Each structure stands twice: as C-alpha cells, then as structure tokens.
Chains A and B, each alone.
Chain A
Amino acid sequence: MLAFLARRLLTLALTAWLATLLIFALLQLVPGDPALLMLGTAARPDTLAALRAQMGLDEPLPLRYLGWLGGLLRGDLGTSVTYARPVAGLVAERMAVTLPLAALALLLSTALAVPLGLLAAARHRRAGDWAVAGFGRLGISVPSFWVGILLILLFSVKLGWFRAGGFPGWGAGAGPALMALLLPAAALAIPEAAILARVTRSALLDALREDYARTARAKGLSGAAVLLRHVLPNALAPVVTVLGLQAAFLVGGAVVVENVFTLPGLGRLLYQAVGQRDLIVVQGIVVILVILVVLANAAVDIAYAALDPRPKVA
C-alpha cells in the first residue's frame, strides 16, 4: 500500500507539473504582443510597458515559465488587468460559490442515483428497471445547461418559486444562499445521476451474483435486507470510482451552468475574463481548476485502493 501511495503521489505531481507546462505553452500561441492584445491599441505606451514587465515578456521563455511556476507554488497568480487586483484573491472569493455548488451537485446526484440504482436492481428486468434505464438514457442525452434553462422555465417563470439566477452572497445567510444554488446544482446533478444510477445498478447486480449474497438469501433474509445490508456496501467501490472520474465533467459543467444562472463563481469569472482577454486571470483559473481535477482523480484512486486491497498497480 505504501509503495502504491508513493507511486500514485509521484504520478500526481508529474501530471500537475505537465498540466502547468501545457497551459503555459498554449498561452504562448497568442499572435503578436500579449500586452497589446489585452489592453487594446488605445493603451498608453507606459501602461503597456508596465504590463509587459509584470508578465515578464522581456525575459526569455524558460525564465518566464519558472517565474510563473514559482509564483503558483507560493500562491501568487499575478495581478488582473481588468480588476487591478491579485488573481489569487479573486479566485478565493469565487471559490466560495463554485465549491459549494459542486458539493451540492455531488450530494444531489448521489441522493438521486443510489435509490434509483437500488430500485432497478431490486426490480431487475421489470417495470422499475425499465423506468430507471429510460431515465439513464435520457439523462445522459441532455446537456446540463439546457436542464438549467428548463428548470428556470418551470420553477421561476411558471411557478415563481425561485429567482431565475443571481446569488445573494453568504452574508445574506446560509438559507437564501443555498436556495440560489439549488436549481443550478440540480441542473448539474440530473445528467450526473443518470450515469451514476446506471453504474450503481450494474455494480449491485454483479454483487448480487456473489456467493455471500446467495448465502444471505438462503439464511432467510428478505431481498430488500440482502440488498441494503450486504450488497450495497460492497457495490459502492465502483460507484466511488465513477464519481471521481466525473470530476472533470462536473468542473466543465459548473463553468457553463454558473453562466446560465449568473452565479458569481469561478466559471462566470473565467467567462468574463475570456471576453475581456484578461490572460492572467484565464491562466490562473484554468490552472487551479485543472489541478483540482488532478487532485480529485488521485484521491479517488487512493480511496479505491484503501477500500479494496487487490488492485495495487498505479
């Protein structure tokens, strides 16, 4: 287990480092002068020179990369041109929206998927199973941002239960803030739950064929008791793995859904920064989000190895 952990942490560091290299390389594709691109042709020469100095554009490429990487390790992501503020501070503020949104989406999708998976496995090849399969097929076919628009249409426009977007801030109290995150989280969770329900169902069906499940049945336990007490805990490992693999999709989805609901999170900030061509903000947010995905994947691998001692190769 220790050797596995060491190897996994090593590949984690390698992947994170390669990701910074790739992001840095992509930003070098800017045609012409990045400072001019960001400030526009109307910018004053001294402002341009100051930005060039801040971005290290006068330095050779490897030095510029090392300077950026060093800053990243110290938690310094540079200063935004549009906001005239350190990017790290902006990112930290917006995280207070994006992280709770992702957590709520994860919670909702699990809360929806596990009971649906249980229902499908308990009613294998009967109506309940077909209904869950239908939800699964439809759920993976709809884009989360359209689900978001439909939720707004139903709950804000028709029923008037929720506001159509925006965020009151955590200062207004946890209740209103969570209410504002509920519809966006549901938009992310529904397609997610479709995938999870499918995986839960097949993991449960696999586990039901094991000897211990048959023994429990033979002891005289009811089908539901076997499913809940014996099979479900054993079927959770593959579900957790898929949950981790979905981290990248969740991050990508959150970026779009935040814009559907005009939530002031990282995705909204990134979208605005792309429009303003604030490359320093774009670079900072992308690197943070990509490292988050890398960390999530590693955490899932390690959790999986801890749950199940058999697969030990990284």
Chain B
Amino acid sequence: MRRRMPKSLLVGAAITLAVVAAALLSWAWTPYPAEQVRIIARLRPPGPQHWLGTDHFGRDTLSMILVGARNSLAVAASAVLLGAAAGVPLGLAAAAWGRWGDELVARLGDLLFAFPAVLTAMLLTAVLGPGGTNAVLALAVFNAAVLARVTRGAAQQAWRREFVRAALALGRGPLSATLAHVLPNIAGTVIVQATILFAVAILNEAALSYLGLGIQPPSPSWGRMLGDAQTFLFTAPLQAVFPGAAIALTVLGLNLLGDGLRDWLDPRER
C-alpha cells in the first residue's frame, strides 16, 4: 500500500535540493569570483550589481554564500558519513553481541555526549592548529556516538523479529543475519537520524567557523561571514542577516526532511 507523503517531507526535500543545487552551481558559476577583493566596492548595500551587497573587502555576498553552501555541506556531510562509518557497525555489533555490547555502547555514549562538539574542536585546534579537518573530526565523534546508540536500539528490536530468528534457526551466522536481515530493516531509522544529525552538523560547523575554527580563509564560510559582518553592524547591517538566513533555511529544510521521512516510514510516531 502506498502511503501519502507528508507535506513536511516534500517541503523539506525541496529546500534541501535547492541548497544542494546552489552548492553544485557554485562549482560552475557565481555572479563574481567569490574570493575577488575590490576595496573600492566595499560594504555596498544590495542592488542590481550585487544582489545581496558586498562585504568589507568588496567581495560579492551572493557569490560567497553560494560557495559557502558548498563548504558547509562538505564539512557536515563528511562529519555524518564518518560518524556513520564508525557508529553504525558499532551499534550493529553491540546488538549482536548482547549484554557486553550494550554496556560498551552505553558507556561510550555517556563519555562522548559529555563533549560538546565546540569543545572538542577547540581542543583539537589548540593541539593541531586551525582547519576544516578538526571541525569534521569533532563533529564526527559526536555523530558516531548518537548513531551507535540509535543503531543498537533499532537492531535489538529487529533481532527479536521472527524472520531474523528464522534465519538464525536455518543456520545463518550473526554476521550474515545482520547484513542480510537486520541492516535492511533498520536502514530507515538510521537515515532519519543521519538527516537530523546533518542539520545539527550544519549548525555546529557555522559556530566553529564563526570562531575561526572551521574552513580557513580565503575560502568563504557562512559562520565566518557572520563573524566579519558583526564588526560592521552599524554601516552594513544586512550583511549580518543573509548568511544567517542561509544557515537557518538549510537547517530548517533538513529538519523538515528528517521529520517527514520519519512520519512517512513509521506513521505511528506522530
């Protein structure tokens, strides 16, 4: 039976696709080169030449936002994929492994949840120097802990179902049963959680690059644009609005997408 798609899923998917399209577009085209400095055109208000105005170096704000989308999505996507690569196998193994696995994932979660991503990133930056890699690592650690916990919970439920028990009775080993039966059944839950973590990663990446701990200049990032604009709040207030709106729109789209996917895959959870 086909279920009707929730409205939040459609709106969320549309917003997310638009942001991804903008990021992809920035590889091929931006109104101006995003790193082009023109001091003579600094802090211009929005107008026909520069739709969203220019920053304190005369760089075109729209171009920077487009390239910033690319950077922001790249950091967040790497952090979620890396977190999934560590967390999902760990959660699956913990569920197959019984009591000890449970205990391990629970304690690991307790430990890693005590480290706000911003703190981990600052610690790594103090040790290794600033850069986008630290941001990815710090966010991935948190994502791995969340995904391990969610995967383990969902996998434990799947283990109790008849078809998994039947597969075991027919002589499949735990690894083979996990790959053939458990994983396909929990994929939806994991994808929903990964979407929400993607949104959280965008927020955290913005905070880190605001502090100068993310992607380094001259490559533009939304967080750094806000940091720069804060210095010129009196002369060019709108420059502090556009990059923030880009962050909020992206996160809103991903949250709607995650909520919509959850409602669509599991209509009980409303």
Contact = CB atoms under 8 A, between A and B. Distances in A.
| Chains A and B bind each other | yes
Interface of A: 11, 14-15, 18-19, 22-23, 26-27, 29-31, 137-138, 140-146, 149-150, 152-153, 157, 164, 248-249, 251-253, 255-256, 259-260, 270-271, 273-274, 277, 279, 282-283, 286, 289-290, 293-294, 297
B118 A256 contact: yes
Interface residues of B, number: 42
Interface stretch (B38-46, B52-60, B183-191, B203-211): B203-211
Contacts of B118: 252-253, 255-256
A277 B126 contact: yes
Contacts of B244: 142-143, 146, 149-150
A111 to B, nearest CB: 24
B124 to A, nearest CB: 7
A23 B234 CA distance: 41
Nearest to B234: A157
A249 B118 CA distance: 9
A251 B207 contact: no
A282 B127 CA distance: 10
A140 B210 CA distance: 18
Contacts of B248: 138, 141-143, 146
Contacts of B247: 142-143, 146
Contacts of B114: 15, 19, 248, 290, 293-294, 297
B111 A22 contact: yes
Given A19-B114, A255-B119, 10 more contacts: A30-B128, A141-B248, A141-B255, A142-B244, A143-B248, A149-B229, A260-B230, A286-B119, A289-B116, A294-B114
Contacts of A150: 240-241, 244
Given A22-B111, A249-B116, A286-B119, A152 B233 contact: yes
Most A CB atoms within 10 A — which of B116, B211, B230, B256? B116
A140 to B, nearest CB: 6
Given A145-B210, A146-B226, A282 B116 contact: no
Contacts of B207: 143-145, 252-253, 256
Contacts of B234: 157
19 contacts: A22-B115, A26-B123, A137-B252, A137-B256, A142-B248, A142-B251, A150-B244, A153-B237, A153-B241, A157-B237, A248-B114, A270-B122, A273-B126, A286-B119, A286-B123, A289-B116, A289-B119, A290-B115, A293-B114
Nearest to A156: B233
A26 B210 contact: no
Contact of B113 (A138, A144, A271, A297): A297
B123 A137 contact: no
Contacts, number: 139
Chain A interface helix/strand/loop/mixed: helix
Contacts of B251: 140-142
A260 B229 CA distance: 12
Contact of B125 (A145, A152, A255, A274): A274
A23 B141 CA distance: 13
B181 to A, nearest CB: 28
User: Which of A150, A252, A255 has the most chain B CB within a 10 Å cutoff?
Assistant: A252
A138 B252 contact: yes
B4 interface: no
A299 to B, nearest CB: 13
B126 A282 contact: yes
A140 B110 CA distance: 23
Nearest to A29: B127
A11 B203 contact: no
Contacts of B213: 274
B122 A286 contact: yes
Contacts of A270: 119, 122
Nearest to B250: A141
